[in-house]
Amino acid sequence: MNIEILQEQLASGLTSVLRAVSSRAQLPVLSHVLLEATADGITLSATDLELGIRIKIPAKVSEPGTITVPAKMLFEFLSSLSPGKVSLAFAGETLTVASGSYSASFQTLPVEEFPTLPVFTKEIMVATIRLSDLTRSADRVTFASAKDTLRPALTGVLLESGKELTCVATDGFRLAVQKIPVTSGSGFATSLLVPARAIGEVARTAFPETIDVGYIAESHQLLFSSPETMVVTQLLDGNFPDYGKILPKEFTSELLLSRAELLQAVKAAHIFARDNSNMMRWKVEKKELTISARSPERGECVVRVPITTTGEDGEIVFNTKYILDYLGVAEADELWFGMKGSLAPGMFRDGKSDTGMYVVMPINA
């Protein structure tokens, strides 16, 4: 194997695939990156058996070949080099990387030990979506998924196929829903539970404007692909909550309010609420929302936010963190909020949009 490639292109490709390299590899080869050199350039692949990433990079290949090389060490060495041409040569079981007066040798492992990543084909394609829509949904949904593994199903994002792709995440205390337009594809017949981490990685990866989505039922894998890039994830097993039963259907109070004013008010309340289990009280009265929080030993905060409201007055107690999480990803200048008493969940939407919603369980206090 003999390759000439730009340092900045190889380092950029490694940056992407490193996110799939296992930090605590069960197998030594999982700490390696698979490097495949052909006449068309080189392909880098990495996997931790749950997530896999493949990137194609242009390069001048005078002698093709396939090897595995320690991913992190190769990236760190490349990062120490100046931008410009880098040569890679493989002989025996050693890869030599050289640039100017710098040279390093890396011990490889047998290619046969590296797990095989699936190949994207037209037969498995189920949808084509825009990267911007997926990135937006990742921002607005994945934060609501559970971060621990006590209930593995809650660490995922539920995907439901139809005219739109519906993304749902919940940790049992809040629920986020966002719809993604589908530009083409037949969809998939069953709901899929995708690790939230995988959705986030796809959003971070350098895909072009559109992404093809593929589903392999036999191996229970979902693929996101473009001509130069692919991310594959193993789907989760388990029972996801019937979120349709959680979504509120009726509201006794409906509010329209400024996102910026609400964010400022909740940030102020959080300073005091964090000493009291993050609890803050909302009181809807006439044309005003009063937000209050109390620190048992340090004091109290009261903020009044102007609103446009219909329906009844009421009170409800929320966890400030759950509201701040939503306000951090909400986009509209004006938000809609609906509630039905102090014990029923509250619902947020961007203005009057129905493409996304956020539901929060109240605190019984």
Residue 313 in domain: yes
Q: Are residues 139 and 219 in the same domain?
A: yes
- The residue from 209, 224, 244 where one domain ends is 244
Does 264 share its domain with 320?
Answer: yes
* Residue 328 counted as domain residue: yes
The reported pLDDT for the residue numbered 352 is 67
Does the residue 326 lie in any domain? yes
Provide the pLDDT for residue 52: 97
Residues 152 and 239 reside in one and the same domain: yes
Boundary of a domain, candidates 113, 141, 174: 113
Q: With a cut of 70, which residues of the chain have pLDDT below it?
A: 352-353
Are residues 287 and 235 located together in one domain of the fold?
no
Residue after which a domain boundary falls, among 82, 113, 144: 113
How far is 230 from 148, CA to CA, in rounded Å? Answer: 27
Which pLDDT score is estimated for 353?
67
Residues 107, 129 share a domain: no
Cα(53)–Cα(45) distance, integer angstroms: 6
**Same domain, residue pair 134 and 209:** yes
Given this model, what pLDDT does residue 186 score? 73
My answer on whether 56 and 34 are in the same domain is yes
129 and 219 fall within a common domain: yes
Per-residue HEC secondary structure of the chain comes to CEEEEEHHHHHHHHHHHHHHCCCCCCCHHHHEEEEEEECCEEEEEEECCCEEEEEEECCEEEECEEEEEEHHHHHHHHHCCCCCEEEEEEECCEEEEEECCEEEEEECECHHHCCCCCCCCHHHEEEEEEHHHHHHHHHHHHHHCCCCCCCHHHHEEEEECCCEEEEEEECCCEEEEEEEECCECCCCCCCEEEEHHHHHHHHHCCCCCEEEEEEECCCCEEEEECCCEEEEEECCCCCCCCHHHHCCCCCCEEEEEEHHHHHHHHHHHHHHHCCCCCEEEEEEECCEEEEEEEECCCEEEEEEEECEEEECCEEEEEEHHHHHHHHCCCCCCEEEEEECCCCCCEEEEECCCCCEEEEECCCCC
Whole-angstrom CA distances from 177 to 115, 180, 208, 228, 238 are 34, 10, 25, 30, 19
190 plus 304 within the same structural domain: no
Q: Does residue 365 sit within a domain?
A: no
Residue 236 lies in a domain: yes
Q: What is the value of pTM for the model shown?
A: 0.89
Tell whether 11 and 93 lie within a shared domain. Answer: yes
Same domain, 187 and 269: no
> What CATH number did the domain enclosing 202 receive?
3.10.150.10
pLDDT value, residue 101: 94
* Phi and psi at residue 135, to the nearest 5°: -60, -45
Q: In this structure, are 150 and 94 located in the same domain?
A: no
For residue 365, the model assigns a pLDDT of: 75
Domain range for 260 is: 247-360
Residue 268 lies in a domain: yes
Domain total for the chain?
3
Q: What pLDDT shows up at residue 158?
A: 96
What integer pLDDT is reported at residue 254 of this predicted model? Answer: 94
pLDDT for the residue numbered 151: 86
